[in-house]
Amino acid sequence: MIPREVVAMMARRRLVAEVRTETAVQALGVVEALVAGGIVNVEVSLTIPGAQEILSHFAARPDVLVGAGAVLDARQATEAISCGARFITSPIFSPELVPVCRDANIACVLGAMTPTEIIAAQRAGAEMVKLFPVEALGGPNYVRALFGQLTHMSLQVAGGLTAESLGGYLELPVRTLALGSLLIPRALVERGNWQALTNRTRAFVEYANNPHEYAARFLAMMGVVPRQLQQPPLVALPAPGGGMPGGDPSNFKPWDSRPVEHGSEEGWLR
């Protein structure tokens, strides 16, 4: 399978799980739970002890598309590829990874933050660009502004995604969304509660496949209260006669007569 086909396969599922655990045993449990829940694009961080063995374990599986994450240099890329990684992902713009991936016929995903870095990464030969850390850069609004100027981008968004912002990214033409702790809470990993992680994964997959239909259910599961259901801020009422027609003008305060803004009832999922 050529690199573009690998990226196309990832894009069809949209969600990529970023696996970063403290032990290899935890990583094995996490990946099995993710696959059972419907996420097959798995990025195994090289920061995990025994990451090479994890890559080798899942590389032969036909139901998992496994790649290496947190790759910073050519040596790490070469080692990950030798262990069966189908794609290489870096959080930084590291052009030296491109020829290594090209020679091995492996998809290369380079990191970027700015429009200049994004274009430079694509020109260097990256099949997809990892926009990281996207939430710190401005979230969906930042990505939307980028697409307003740069229409031919192959983007993955990563770094700090939240349940509230997820819907905004799903509405944009990003290729993939990389999910770390939002999808894989540390508490579930430490307890080894793989069934709960599988159930959580299914909810993410369901939401990604049909965000408009399942938005309310997904956000409720994540404990997010829609804006139109939140309590409006309390507004102090004017004293009797103060600020009212016919009252004492000396007690009038302009802010007493302003309408309370409850916000728009549309677009709370932005």
Instruction: Report pLDDT digits (tens) over 99-131.
Output: 999 999 999 999 999 999 999 999 999 999 999
Q: In this predicted model, which residue has the larger pLDDT, 189 or 254?
A: 189
Structure tokens at 33: 């739970």
Confidence of residue 225 (pLDDT cuts 50, 70, 90): confident
For residue 233, the model assigns a pLDDT of 53
Q: Is the pLDDT of residue 208 over 90?
A: yes
**Mean pLDDT of all residues in 250-254:** 42
In this structure, the number of other CB atoms found within 10 A of the CB of residue 267 comes to 9
Q: Could you tell me the pTM of the whole model?
A: 0.82
Lowest mean pLDDT among 29-38, 61-70, 227-236: 227-236
Chain mean pLDDT for the chain: 88
Q: What is the torsional sign of CA 106, 112, 115, 117?
A: negative
Q: Which residues pair with 94 in a beta bridge?
A: none
CA-CA distance, 69 to 42, in Å (whole number)?
A: 9
CA-CA distance, 160 to 183, in Å (whole number)?
A: 11
Q: In this predicted model, which residue has the larger pLDDT, 191 or 236?
A: 191
In the chain, pLDDT over 90 holds for what percent of residues? 80
Of 224, 249, 189, 202, the residue nearest 25 (C-alpha): 189
Confidence of residue 33 (pLDDT cuts 50, 70, 90): very high
**Mean pLDDT of all residues in 138-156:** 96
* Domains delineated in the chain: 3-221 (3.20.20.70), 227-270 (no CATH)
